[in-house]
Amino acid sequence: MTGTQNINLEDTRFSDEKPGNNSNNSDFRAKNDYNEEIESLSKREYHVTQQNGTEPPFKNELYDEKRPGIYIDVVSGEPLFSSKHKFDSGTGWPSFYKPLEPKNIVERKDPGPFGVRVEIASKHARSHLGHLFEHPDTPTNLRYCMNSAALEFIPADKLEEKGYGEYSDMFESEN
């Protein structure tokens, strides 16, 4: 996943915890509480969420998904992103300019061969989701570049049925 990366890596919001570590917060299930869900992942989902993989651009399920709805962690079901904040970044991966639920996102420094990036993981399951980049053409100047394999899309008309009814109101005018 490419992009301009000038985000302040000294920012105190970054977690020192690596995805896969248990949270000290007793409100969250420990990573190993998701063993059953992890075992049911496809090979691609496992590679992305558990091994910090990246799926190919333009050859993934959700990069061009245009229906209204929310995106949840494929492992834990944590609400992460909304179609209201999704945009076409031209990269071939689902891109959002802000999370639906910032409390469900962990940002951490991710050193790599091309410098330090910002990795995005889910708070509860510690699933690797993708990376955060600067993007001057969005309302937040940010691009959350996510892997489809880490996300499950819940269409707006299925939110109640799937247990995410609290998000239905944001899509009322679109149904």
Per-residue HEC secondary structure of 41-96 comes to: CCHHHHHHHHHCCCCCCCCCCCCCCCCCEEEEECCCCCEEEEHHHEECCCCCCCEE
Among residues 145, 154, 156, 159, the one annotated as catalytic is 145
Known catalytic residue: 145?
Answer: yes
* Cα 173 to Cα 95, 100, 167, distances in angstroms: 23, 18, 13
Domains of the chain: 31-159 (2.170.150.20)
pLDDT one-digit tens code per residue, 28-62: 444 557 888 999 999 999 999 999 999 999 999 99
**Predicted confidence (pLDDT) per residue in 100-153, tens digit:** 999 999 999 988 887 889 999 999 999 999 999 999 999 999 999 999 999 999
